[in-house]
Every structure is written in C-alpha cells, then in structure tokens.
Amino acid sequence: MSQSVRQSVMQASREWIANFNQGNVQACTERYQKEATMQVSPFGRFNGMEAIAGFWNEFAKSGPTKLVYRNVEIKVLNDKQAILSANWSMNIASGFISKELWTLNDDGQWYLEEDDFSVLTQHPAPLDDDKRTALVLVDLQNDYFSGGRFPLDNTDIATQHAKTLLSHFRKNALPVIHIQHIFEDDNAPFFTANTTGIEIETSVAPLAEEPVVIKHQIDSFIDTSLEQSLVELGVDKLVIVGAMAQACVQTITRSAVNKGYSCEVISDAIAAPSLPYGEHKFSGDQLVAANLLSLSFGGAKATTSTQWLKDNA
C-alpha cells in the first residue's frame, strides 16, 4: 500500500511541477482542495483556493520557471494521505518545502490539503545556468600535504588544478564552497581540532564571502550547512575537487547525486593515498581512477580540469 501511495503522490507532484514550469497557474491552483491552507514564509498564510490562487497569480508575474524539487521525502500516513518534503529551486528563487499534505479525493485524484514552504532566497533577476554551478573544494587541508600528518600522493598537483578552476569561478563570480573536515576525536590520526593540520591550504584558502562548511564525518551533508548553502545559492550542479578520492570525494558525490544534483568530478584535481588491501597495494593514482570509474557508473561525470574549462569557456 505505502509504495503505491508514494508513487501516486510523486506523480501528482511531478504533474504540478510540469504545470508550473509551463506557466499554467490555473492547473496548479486546481490541485488544491477548496478549503486548503498554504503557509508561505515570509509572505504569510493563505486560506482557501481563492486566496491561494491570488498568491500564485501574483507570483507568476515575475516569470518563474525551471522549478525543481530535490532531496524529496514522502511519508505515507494512510492509504489516502501522504506528506512530501523537499528542497526547491527555480530561476528566480529557492527554498524549503516543510510539508505538502496530499490527500486522495473521491474523484480518484490527489490534491493538496496543506502546503507549507519557505522562500529562502529571491534573486533580483533570473539566474543564468552557469550561476547555478558551484565549485566544491573538499578537504584540501594541510594534513594532506607534505609535512602533514596524513600526506596523500600528488596532493600538490591536484591542488594546482583545483586552484586553476577556483580562479575561473572567482573571475566569473560563480559560487564557491569549501569543505573543511575536523574530527571531534582528539585521538584522530589527522584533522584534529586546534591544529594547523585542519587549516585549508593557502593556495586555495577561502575568501571572506565564500562559505566554509565544517564537517565531522565522511559525508559532507550529514549535520552540516552544505545543503543550506546550496539552496541559498540556487545551485543545481556541483563541480567537485579535493580529497580523499575513496572517502569524502566519493561520498559527497554519491550523496549529491542521490539528492538530485548534477555532479562533475575533476579527475586531475582529486588526490588519494597509497593504500594496501590484503595482498594488494594501490597507488593514489590507482585509487583515484577506481573511484572515478565507480562514480561514473553512479550518475556523476568525470572530466579533466582542462576539458571542463574548454567546455565552459
């Protein structure tokens, strides 16, 4: 039962999004129940279909389109009700959906009974597609470099390529996000708090206006501000560089793809250590290659820094 309800609600939601992106406000408002309520932060509460239609008709004057839901979760309450939550973004705004309560009516169609969402960011003009792409630099911190507590193979070379991309993003005023790993365990082998090893390497150090996401686990999304930053910036694609290939780079990429983001991993801007496994020994380059192969099968795209810059000139 729950799977069938989940699929039906997802289909109803997709139809609503398609109508919205086609500018069909009437079709969108007709998917609300007559006595539905809509809470929109920071704009207020709208009771009943007439008030809800008034909000959407006014909002439509700003030319919204390219609406996308990400990180969608559907919780089935019973065979006639389910709650959807998600992140959303479009060409002029982005935010969070706290609650869409979908209800199955007697006509066999699903309708919105409650709609509670927030507009986190509004853009004065529609975002160009390139402005929706963020460079994410993962854990390029001192401990991974020569003299650090856990140096990787070719970190310097990978960082040089990352710096080239960073210069491009800064020159073109594109979003940049830095990830910084700090272990909470004082006995961790590296990246322990209050040491120079946790500092981001000087050549790719963040500017004051660039978000720095601090994480304590392998996954950059768990208990961090990363998703918040992506929503605030209106990002839908990540260009990923950094370390380590088999750990934090692999995990952030898979998590982002699963949440609905497009990901490009820059092969010559990724570093890894030499590691043994049983009777086998792998160089850093081999680990990078193996993980890029794995990610390519998992929905991400692998490319070089030179090719990426050529494709996005």
Burial class (CB in 10 A: 0-12, 13-18, 19+), 267: buried
CATH 3.40.50.850-classified regions of the chain: 129-311
Residue 61's H or E segment, with its range, is: none
DSSP code per residue over 255-268: HHHHHT-EEEEEEE
* pLDDT value for 298: 87
What are residue 273's phi and psi, to 5 degrees?
Answer: -90, 165
* pLDDT value for 287: 96
What are residue 246's phi and psi, to 5 degrees?
Answer: -85, -5
Output the CATH code of domain 2-122.
3.10.450.50
Cα–Cα nearest to 136, from 12, 27, 238: 238
* pLDDT value for 70: 96
CATH 3.10.450.50-classified regions of the chain: 2-122
* pLDDT value for 60: 94
Distance CA(309)–CA(239), nearest Å, equals 11
Distance CA(236)–CA(87), nearest Å, equals 11
Beta-bridge partner residues of 116 = 39, 99
Residue 125: C-alpha distances to residues 62, 92, 93, 96, 207 (Å) = 9, 6, 9, 20, 25
Residue 214 near residue 166 (C-beta atoms within 8 A): no
Tell me the pTM: 0.93
* pLDDT value for 138: 98
Cα–Cα nearest to 295, from 246, 259, 261: 246
Distance CA(18)–CA(119), nearest Å, equals 20
What number of H helices and E strands is found in the chain? 8, 14
Cα–Cα nearest to 259, from 94, 92, 121, 68: 68
Distance CA(135)–CA(240), nearest Å, equals 6
Chain CA centroid to CA 228, Å: 9
What are residue 146's phi and psi, to 5 degrees?
Answer: -55, 130
Looking at this protein, which amino acid is placed at residue 54? Answer: G
- DSSP H helices in the chain: 2-21, 25-29, 48-60, 155-171, 226-233, 250-259, 284-297, 305-311
pLDDT tens series, the chain, 313 aa: 689 999 999 999 999 999 999 999 999 999 999 999 999 999 999 999 999 999 999 999 999 999 999 999 999 999 999 999 999 999 999 999 999 999 999 999 999 999 999 999 998 889 888 899 999 999 999 999 999 999 999 999 999 999 999 999 999 999 999 999 999 999 999 999 999 999 999 999 999 999 999 999 999 999 999 999 999 999 999 999 999 999 999 999 999 999 999 999 999 999 999 999 999 999 999 999 999 999 999 899 999 999 999 999 8
* pLDDT value for 124: 87
Distance CA(308)–CA(291), nearest Å, equals 19
Task: Match domain 129-311 to its CATH number in 3.40.50.850, 3.40.1390.20, 3.40.50.300, 3.40.50.150.
Answer: 3.40.50.850
Cα–Cα nearest to 250, from 304, 199, 302, 206: 302
DSSP code per residue over 94-107: EEEEEEEEEEE-TT
